[in-house]
A and B are shown apart, each in its own frame.
Chain A
Amino acid sequence: MSYRQAAFVLASGILFGFGLALSTMVQPEVVLSFLAWKDMGLLLVLGGAVVVTFAAYHLAPRVMRKPIAGEAFGRHPSEMAVRTLAGAAIFGVGWGLCGVCPGPAIAGLGVGNYPMLVALAGLILGAYAQGRWASHQFNQPQMNTDEHR
């Protein structure tokens, strides 16, 4: 990755982190209050983010041959699979318990919300557990659901 690309990635992260702080998503109390139907603010956060991102994802590849500092516009297809939805269901239980999702766990550190370190440690360990569990399936190709569906 070139310095120019790294600078763009850093700038994008800064905007994203600023947005997470401004929208108070770095406060688990606010997220939990949405999930308990006391404050619908998170819908505006998600809606605002999706509308702008939708415009970029759909317009940029039409009006630009390639990204400013990149080779090609990426795509990240989501797999319509049991693991996608089972994982989402599990994710929701954790999110509803603590009010912290991955972005705010990272951004929370920037606003001095030090208990977020505990949530961040939990997220990283959870990702480790999932990876070890998935590695087990890697070693037994006959159980690899991606190849034998």
Chain B
Amino acid sequence: MSSLFPLGWEHYLAGGLLLGVGMSLLFVSTGLIGGMSTVFSTVWSFFSSAPYFQQERFVSTRNWRLIYAAGIILGALLWLILLGQPFVTEVPYWRLAAGGFIAGFGARLSNGCTAGHGICGMASLQPASILAVFTFLATAMATAHLVKAFL
């Protein structure tokens, strides 16, 4: 076990279950599906008149998605206050910027990310989402190995 989980496993499982509880509360209370990457398209519906951003599915969901995002920041802050310590990544800025841009483009093209396809799509057993998860895990692992070897 210790070789599979050098940092321990309890916090991973507890955190994962909590992600599920949050996603479940959203569904049981409001009927909404809590994908995450869509918020990045819906924020543009406030600023851009481009037809893609003005689609009904973005304009009609942009408010709750912003509230959801605000909750996520508050939840992480709550963890910091109750249990944790501040954490600052040492991944170089250029990788955060370039990786973020590529991930943002891809997630929106795919209409889902690790939350939308990974949690919501797999939890509703959607073949396209399950295939998407295996696809992004494969390319992400390949990229991470290459980065480790050459950077």
Residues of A that sit less than 8 Å from B by CB: 1, 5-6, 8-30, 32, 35-42, 44-57, 60, 64, 66-81, 83-103, 105-116, 118-132, 134-135, 138-139
Closest residue of chain A to B15 (Cβ to Cβ) is A23
Q: Determine whether the beta carbon of A115 is less than 8 Å from that of B136.
A: no
Q: Indicate the member of A5, A86, A131 with the most B CB atoms within 10 Å.
A: A131
Q: Determine whether the beta carbon of A87 is less than 8 Å from that of B23.
A: no
The residues in B between 44 and 83 inclusive whose CB is less than 8 angstroms from any CB of A are: 44, 48, 50-53, 63-64, 67-80, 83
New contact pairs (14) apart from A78-B126, A88-B135, CB-CB < 8 Å? A12-B26, A13-B74, A17-B74, A23-B12, A52-B23, A84-B131, A96-B99, A102-B107, A110-B76, A110-B80, A115-B91, A120-B100, A129-B105, A132-B52
- Given A40-B4, A93-B139, A85–B99 Cβ distance below 8 Å? no
Q: CB-CB < 8 A to A18: which residues of B?
A: 18, 22, 75-76, 78-79
Closest residue of chain B to A66 (Cβ to Cβ) is B31
The residues in B between 78 and 117 inclusive whose CB is less than 8 angstroms from any CB of A are: 78-80, 83-84, 86-91, 93, 95-117
**Among A27, A53, A94, A125, which residue has its beta carbon within 8 angstroms of that of B119?**
A53
**Among A50, A100, A102, A107, which residue has its beta carbon within 8 angstroms of that of B123?**
A50
Q: Indicate the member of A73, A76, A112, A125 with the most B CB atoms within 10 Å.
A: A76
Name the 9 nearest CB pairs between A and B, nearest first: A13-B71, A122-B100, A126-B104, A23-B15, A52-B20, A98-B99, A17-B75, A87-B110, A48-B16
Interface SS majority for chain A: helix
Question: Chain B, 118-151, contact with A by CB distance < 8 Å: what is the 0/1 string?
Answer: 1111111111110111011111111111111000
Q: Determine whether the beta carbon of A5 is less than 8 Å from that of B64.
A: yes
- Given A14-B74, A90-B106, A123-B40, A44–B99 Cβ distance below 8 Å? no
Q: Determine whether the beta carbon of A92 is less than 8 Å from that of B100.
A: no
Q: Report Cα–Cα, A99/B63, bound state, in Å.
A: 28
Q: Determine whether the beta carbon of A84 is less than 8 Å from that of B128.
A: yes
Q: Determine whether the beta carbon of A29 is less than 8 Å from that of B91.
A: yes
Q: Determine whether the beta carbon of A22 is less than 8 Å from that of B4.
A: no
Q: CB-CB < 8 A to B146: which residues of A?
A: 96
**Among B30, B90, B114, B129, which residue has its beta carbon within 8 angstroms of that of A101?**
B114
**Among A21, A38, A83, A134, which residue has its beta carbon within 8 angstroms of that of B79?**
A21
Q: Determine whether the beta carbon of B99 is less than 8 Å from that of A122.
A: yes
**Among A20, A50, A69, A89, which residue has its beta carbon within 8 angstroms of that of B20?**
A50
Q: Determine whether the beta carbon of B71 is less than 8 Å from that of A67.
A: no
Q: Report Cα–Cα, A124/B104, bound state, in Å.
A: 6
